[in-house]
Amino acid sequence: MAPNPTPTFEEHESIIWPVQSFTVDRNFKSPHPAHLLLDRANSEFGIIYQILPMVAVMAQFPDSDEPIFFQVSRTRAACSREGQTCKKVCVLIQQLQIDLEFSSADHASDFMHTLGRLATKVGNLEFEVYEAQSLNALNRPDFSIEKMCIKHESPQSWMNIRNEDTFDWASVYQSGKCTDFTVIAGGRSFPVHRILLCMRSQYFNAVCDGRFSETEQKSISLPESEDTISIMLQELYNAYNPTTGSIFTSFALQREMEKEAIMVRLLALFIASDKYNLESIKRKAAEAIIDRLPFLQDALDIINVAAVIYDETCPQIDCGLRKAIILQIQSRLSTIMGDEAAWEGYSGNKTLLKALHECQCASLEDLGSDEAMTPPATPVKTDRKYRPQTRSSGA
């Protein structure tokens, strides 16, 4: 297929495409339109339903309640048809085929090229792209990529080049072998490797090779919690941890209390990685936070996340977090007003009030001054005093 530039998304936006319909292995067809969301932290795609503006739930198989998603690393092939009219893309994951009918041909093309780019990023050397012989053939209900894979001896494929470290740092970290430095947090000692710390962080490079007491002692004590440093080091070594794990299996279907705890850990990871000059981890944490916001159903959780993001301890270079969360508040304002705890948390925070006001003013300016406009009403509730944002035990 002809090259196509990667679609441009603002840093505060998730990468998402509207899908008119989808079919899984020709057995399950979507009951209504949906969206395809990219979990940027894990290179996975999942089908979601938007129940309200900027609020989403996971699409699930009716017989098992399992989430409908697929991993780029396990995707064997994708097939579409070049042209301005083809909205369909078929994806083969192991032996399973998912047919996606996008809202436009541009969306289909954007997805195809994003999928190809990610296959290269994760080192999926088996991933191949096919072009259907005709649009009619592609649109047939019995169209099979599996048969196309068998039929074509020399299929057109994407050139895949690994861009990750070939050395398996995750296994080395888990084994604990050959460590030569210690990071201490919350009373726990983490044996680590100086060479990796120096490679990934200017902060740790100065600590390990500078003229500091930590350099001589070959250890450093950090003020962050044991949990935060543990997650940060797992990310540093590219080791799996559930905090940044799959949205679709480790977050979207969890209870609200568990989602809140994950968001707290992600925010702490974002702040710590900024402090210690771990830019790739900082960006991954920011993307993980932004991509998870639509799955927070509780208005109070949105306000609590916003309070942390707009706190002075949060980095000024925020990778789009402030804009992402304030747009969530703007979209959910009526729900927030109807939730006593959420309303008190929001109305008692002058920083959030100011941020939303500025966002609304910017939106009005974007509409242009030639149109007659009525300013949005300012939400007001009287005779309420601000108190910590917690729910009563009977809520």
What pLDDT is attached to residue 297?
96
Domain assignment of residue 11, yes or no: no
Q: pLDDT of 143-197, one tens digit each?
A: 999 887 766 644 444 444 444 445 789 898 888 888 999 999 999 999 999 999 9
247 falls in which pLDDT band (50, 70, 90)?
A: very high
238 pLDDT exceeds 70?
yes
* Report for 41-45, 134-138, 171-175, 193-197: range of highest mean pLDDT: 41-45
Q: Are residues 293 and 320 in the same domain?
A: yes
Question: Of 38-47, 110-119, 203-212, where does mean pLDDT reach its minimum?
Answer: 203-212
Distance CA 326, CA 361 (A): 13
Domain assignment of residue 1, yes or no: no
Distance CA 11, CA 40 (A): 12
The model carries a pTM of 0.86
What is the average per-residue pLDDT within 83-111?
Answer: 94
128 class by beta-carbon count within 10 Å (0-12 exposed, 13-18 middle, 19+ buried): buried
For residue 41, give both structure tokens: 């932290």
Q: Are residues 228 and 101 in the same domain?
A: no
What pLDDT is attached to residue 160?
44
Higher pLDDT, 283 or 26: 283
What pLDDT is attached to residue 385?
43
**β-bridge mates for residue 91, sequence order:** 78, 98
Determine how β-strand 96-102 pairs with β-strand 16-24.
Answer: antiparallel
| Residue in this structure with the two tokens 């998912």, named with its chain if needed | 98
CB contact at 8 A, 227 and 243: no
CB contact at 8 A, 183 and 220: yes
Domain assignment of residue 115, yes or no: yes
Q: Are residues 145 and 175 in the same domain?
A: no
Q: Are residues 117 and 191 in the same domain?
A: no
Q: Which amino acid is at 37?
A: L
Q: Are residues 277 and 305 in the same domain?
A: yes
Q: Are residues 289 and 352 in the same domain?
A: yes
Q: Are residues 296 and 186 in the same domain?
A: no
What pLDDT is attached to residue 5?
46
Q: Are residues 26 and 141 in the same domain?
A: yes
Q: Are residues 229 and 264 in the same domain?
A: no
Best CA proximity match to 152, nearest among 89, 92, 98, 101: 92
Best CA proximity match to 280, nearest among 265, 268, 270: 270
CB contact at 8 A, 315 and 324: no
Mean predicted lDDT score pLDDT of the chain: 88
Question: Of 200-204, 343-347, 384-388, where does mean pLDDT reach its minimum?
Answer: 384-388
What is the average per-residue pLDDT within 68-86?
Answer: 93
What pLDDT is attached to residue 368?
63
Domain assignment of residue 247, yes or no: no
292 falls in which pLDDT band (50, 70, 90)?
A: very high
What pLDDT is attached to residue 8?
62
CB contact at 8 A, 297 and 342: no
What pLDDT is attached to residue 120?
96
Q: Are residues 201 and 146 in the same domain?
A: no
Domain assignment of residue 249, yes or no: no
Domain assignment of residue 84, yes or no: yes
Using CA atoms of 250, 254, 256, 259 in order, give the dihedral in degrees to the nearest 10: -10
Range of the domain at 339: 254-395
Distance CA 59, CA 50 (A): 10
CB contact at 8 A, 280 and 247: no
Q: Are residues 86 and 114 in the same domain?
A: yes
What pLDDT is attached to residue 314?
96
Q: Which amino acid is at 29?
A: K
Domain assignment of residue 198, yes or no: yes
CATH of the domain at 186: 3.30.710.10
- Could you tell me what percent of the chain has a pLDDT over 90? 70
Higher pLDDT, 290 or 159: 290
Higher pLDDT, 75 or 95: 75
CATH of the domain at 53: 2.30.29.30
Q: Are residues 259 and 394 in the same domain?
A: yes
What is the average per-residue pLDDT within 65-73?
Answer: 96
Please state the domain count of the chain.
3
